[in-house]
Structures are given as C-alpha cells and as structure tokens.
Structure 1
Amino acid sequence: MADAIPRSPTKPELFADCVFLFRSGRVHYYDDADAAAAAVADDTTAVAVDTSTNESGYISFTLRPPWKVSYLDLHWPYGIPESPNLVLLRIASARMNHRFGAPDLFVYTFGPSSPPPSVRRLPACTEMTQDLACGRMFLKVDTNLGILCRGGDPNNYVVADLVVSWKERSFPDEHDFTTNPPEMFAALCTFSSKKGHWTTKEMLAPQPHGQGQFPYLWYCDRVVPFAGRFLCWVDFYSGIVFCDFSDEDSPVLHCTPVPGNQKISDKRLIERYCPESFRNVSVSQGMIRFVNIDNDWQDLQTSDRAITVWNLMMTGNCWSWEIQHKINLDDLWADCGHKDLDLPAPLMPELPVLSKNDLDVLCCVLREDRFSGRTWIIHVDLKQLSFVICVLHNNEQIVCQRDAIDNKEHNNFLPLVPWLRCDIPRYLNQPQGN
C-alpha cells in the first residue's frame, strides 16, 4: 500500500481557474517507494493510490496556463471528463486480466469540501450487455465512460457507461439495415457513490427530437456532464443522448441530433475520420454548445470554410439549436495575418475547445504538418475576429526510448486527442478548509 504523502509547509501557488488536461497520463518511475513519495512531497495535487493488483503509487497533476497543455502524472492513467471537482481515472497495468475484466476506475476528488485531494477506487464491475449485438462487458471502452457530480457535492456522484445496439437475434447477418433499420436498445451501467455498487438497466433507445428513429450507426465519441443532472453521450456526427439522473433509480434517456444540414455517409459513420479534430461539444456558462470547423475531411460541396458555434436552447420538451457565431476562415486570416503571428502560412484550426467562461473564445490547434511539424495553441475571439493567444506548443509527454526519437519531432508532437477542461486550479487557489 502506498504511504501517506509527507507534506512540507509551502506558500500556495496560484493557477488559472481552468486548464486543458491531456487525456493520457505521463509515467514516472523511481528506485523505491521512498523516492516516489519524496518526489511528490510538496505537490498539493498528489494523492496515494493502490490498484486491484496491489500495485502502489501516487497520482498528481502538472498544471499549466490555459495556453499550454496540463498533464496527469503517475502510472497507466487515462483521464475521463469532467465534473467541476471530480476526475475519473482509468488505470490499467500488465498484471490485469483485460480479457475477463475492465481496468480499474478511480475517482479523484478535490474541492473546498474535501481538502486535501483524495482518491477512491471503484469496485469491479463484471456486468455484460444482454442479447445486444455488440455483446461486450461494460467499462471496456474509454470514450463511453462519464462521471456526474450531483448537486455540487463531490461525495455525491454517478459514474456511468452507455451501450446502444440492436438485439443480436433480431436480424440475420445479411439483413440490409439501410432499407429496414433495426429497433435500437440502450444498456446503462451505473455506479452511485451513495449506494456503493454497480447497477444495470436496459431500455429502448430514445427517439431523436423530431428526427424519426434512433440512428443504428450511432457511436459515442465523448461524454459530457451537464447541469448536475445529465450525462450526455455525444456522437459528433449523429446526435447527443442525454441521461437524466434526477431520479437515480429511474434514469430517463433523451436524444437530440447535432446541428447542421450536412448529410453524413454510412462509410464516414463507420470509419469515423477523427471527428474530434474538427467538432466538439462542451458546456459554457450553463449551456450545451456545439462547434464545427469545416475542413477537407468532410466532403463539403463548397470551397467556403467556416467556424460555426451553436447553443442548445432547452425550453421544456422543446429543444433547438441556435447559431451564436459563424465566421469565415478566409476572413479570419485576412483580419489576422499569419505573418504577424509568426506562422508559416494560414493553417487549418483543429481540436476545437470552447472556453468555459467566455462565450466568444475558442481554443484550437494549428499544425504546420499533420505529424511532425510545429504546432501552435491558439485562442480566437470569434466576436472580434482576433487571436487572443498564439503560443508554440512544446510536448512534455514522457517516452521510453527518448534517444531513438528526434528531439525536434518529439517536441512538436501533439496527437489528435481531445483535451479535458478541468477546474482543479480553481480549488487549489482557495485556502484549505474554505
């Protein structure tokens, strides 16, 4: 078992209220447990952790300003979005039997009601989907997992996995789904911090608002918590499935299509083509927001390229998307010359992330080359058509064989993985116990 962290009194460090957290953690190795404990002794984010296979270590965070990338540090972590004062971690090691079980899940808790930070390993879940064509255990797919903090209490949360498919026996293999789409079912697996165990429930997949049947090629790209009440499973091409946890014992599903009139081919729905590189869904100032950047991967019928941001307006049972911003990329580069920003040419923005507190600001990535060129992190004011920040990215990921990798290429590398917005710094800035 990992030892408690020896703390030494230090002056509190102040951070930006919100950071962008890289999803995959960095691995650090030490000669012994004492060396590991000493390395995190003065880190206010560090907490001891033990896995189900009796491996011990410490979890901490390296926090950067919002124009840089922040990191989760320790062994085997995978960060999963994203409640105001909770982070869900997925940790796997070589000693785990991944064929018959899912990796360990941990909930890292921070906030004024729970100083210092703490971590809880969730009990194992052996449940499987029943009779669905996907036929898999729950908790095996990273992008399907989400965590919801209820009522602002970091000790009252729900962790959930949603699987949507058709019944395995409903159709033979040669069935043509395009002419006769199957009836879709949703299987929900939920852990409640109050109950302390996993429960499963199967129900009909929700009918999209005003859009006929649930799409049979629906796929979950990410999960977003909303309003302390909903977990939202997002398919960037098809739509958003909302699970209302107002009554934890009887969760209710809703669905709304994503905005825009673009027809997505079945080929693209199956092969995906990295939709997270040009689309995203997030919550800003209490609203669900969708951003799309037109690019060459979308089979567009026009040469115009635009950044469009919609807000989801929810009035009773009436849900609709309203455009808040739409700017032409050529106009953006005309008003903000690339040479003024020390860029080699006008570049295509990627990995869009909407600001949590400013409805007009969008964070993106610019790449000189898709794999090995320089990379910049930018903040764009969509209302003023101006760049707020443009900073050259420096990769701080740890690699095993550093000597075998060109340093320049390594420093530029930024994979097409969407970041997590995280509020850890806001709680670290508050006095302990306040």
Structure 2
Amino acid sequence: MAIPVSDRFLCWGGYHGGFILCDMAEEACPKLQYVPLPGLPYDPSYYTNDDLLPLKDSQNMGAAGAKAVRFVAIEPRCCCGSYGRSLCPRSRHAFTVTTWNLNLTMDEPMTWVKDSVMDCEELWALPGYEGIPRVHLQCPIVSLDKPDVVCFKAVSKADQKAWMIQVDMRRKVLLKAVCTTDIWKSHYSYDLRQAKLQW
C-alpha cells in the first residue's frame, strides 16, 4: 500500500518488517530510504496449533500530520502477561492495541516513539461498548483528520454481526460504533466508511 504524507513524503509498505520512504522534495531526484517498523514483543506469524492461527489484518499505518506517520498494532496476549496467542479460556480473545509515531526526515536518524497502549479490558469497559463482541479487533485505520482516532472492526461469527468502532486512543474514549448484520459484506462497508469518514 502507499501512504501520502502531506505533499512531500510517500510511504510504501506491506508491513513485513518495514516500509520504503520516498522524499519528493527534489522531484528531479527523489530520495528513498528503508525504515524498519517498531519491534513487536512477539512474532505475529507464529502459531503452534490450528486453533491459534495468526491474527489477520492486525497492523496498519497512516499519516499523522505533515511530517509524521502512526503505526498501529493489535497484539494478542495471555492473562499471565505474556504476548502471543493462548488457548487459555480467559485469554483466547485478549489483546492490547499499541500506537507508535515516527517523525519523517532524510537528514537524521528516525526513531519510533510509543504513543499509546490500550488493553482489551480497558476497551471493553468503556461506555458504549455494551453489546459489541469481545473478540480480537481487526483492520486498524488511522483517521486522516485526527491521528489520535483509530477505527477498528470487531466480528462475531456466532451471531453473524460485524461492528465498526472508532476509538480515541489518547483519551481512551469510544467515539462511535456501527453494526451490520452481514459479516460477509462488512469488509467492503468498513473500507467505504473509513475512506469517507462519514459515519
């Protein structure tokens, strides 16, 4: 995917360890640089059991101002505190959501700064979350207008419903939630809603 950041930077990435940063300040000779992603506390592709497949659509990145990007990762955890998928009934759908910021430059080293961390228990306890399934979130999308706001999808296969929620990660507030009863169409609806950001 490609992410434009103001009218100067362009980021290309597939989230397999990093992305390519392109500085378009000199159009005749754009500069390219490889930027590694922040180190996650676990390997998202690792699993030991067919019941514990890797999380899908658990990472994403978006512009966070004129010269910065924000990376969002949904990380499964166990009730014992360790990271990774777990067969423990209390931890089967437990997770944390972490955001990092990176100021873009070609002149000096760039460092990811951890911005916010929200545990699933905090999210599930927020006013307005009642009735939304307590499952791993999917498809994080950083708001174009408000980088502190991240949108997610929560899918419940049990009752064939998908929820699209909007969370202010800095203030830890659930802003909006929309439900659809057709989980097979939810992916398209989610992309369309997020592209327009008109809920």
Give TM class, smaller chain.
0.7 to 0.9
* 8 Å CA contact retained: 1:380, 1:388: yes
4+ runs deviating over 3 angstroms: 261-268, 273-276, 301-304, 335-338, 415-425
Matched, 1:366 2:154: yes
Distance 1:245 1:383, change over 3 A: closer
Greater share of strand residues, 1 or 2? 2
Matched, 1:291 2:72: yes
Q: Deviations over 1:362-388 (max 9, x none)?
A: 111110119x81111111122333311
For the pair shown, the structure with the greater C-alpha radius of gyration is 1
Distance 1:336 1:257, change over 3 A: same
How far apart, in 1, do the equivalents of 2:116 and 2:74 lie? Answer: 12
How far apart, in 1, do the equivalents of 2:45 and 2:144 lie? Answer: 33
Secondary structure of the 1:412 match is coil
Matched, 1:313 2:99: no
Name the structure 2 match of 1:279: 59
Name the structure 1 match of 2:119: 328
Name the structure 1 match of 2:143: 355
TM-score by length of 2: 0.72
How far apart, in 1, do the equivalents of 2:69 and 2:59 lie? Answer: 14
Q: Which amino acid aligns with 1:226?
A: V
Q: Which amino acid aligns with 1:318?
A: P
Distance 1:322 1:418, change over 3 A: farther
Name the structure 1 match of 2:27: 248
Q: CA deviation at 1:356?
A: 1.7
Q: What runs of 5+ residues in structure 1 fail to find an aligned partner?
A: 1-221, 395-410, 426-434
Secondary structure of the 1:241 match is strand
Q: Which amino acid aligns with 2:112?
A: W
* 8 Å CA contact retained: 1:236, 1:276: no
Distance 1:261 1:337, change over 3 A: same
Mapping of residues 214-233 of structure 1, within 5 Å: 222-233=1-12
Q: Which amino acid aligns with 1:259?
A: P
Q: Which amino acid aligns with 1:305?
A: F
Q: CA deviation at 1:422?
A: 4.5
Mapping of residues 40-59 of structure 1, within 5 Å: none
TM-score by length of 1: 0.36
Distance 1:260 1:233, change over 3 A: same
Mapping of residues 138-177 of structure 1, within 5 Å: none
Q: Deviations over 1:302-359 (max 9, x none)?
A: 8562100111023532201111111111122133474x3x33x422211111112223
Q: What runs of 5+ residues in structure 2 fail to find an aligned partner?
A: 48-52, 78-82
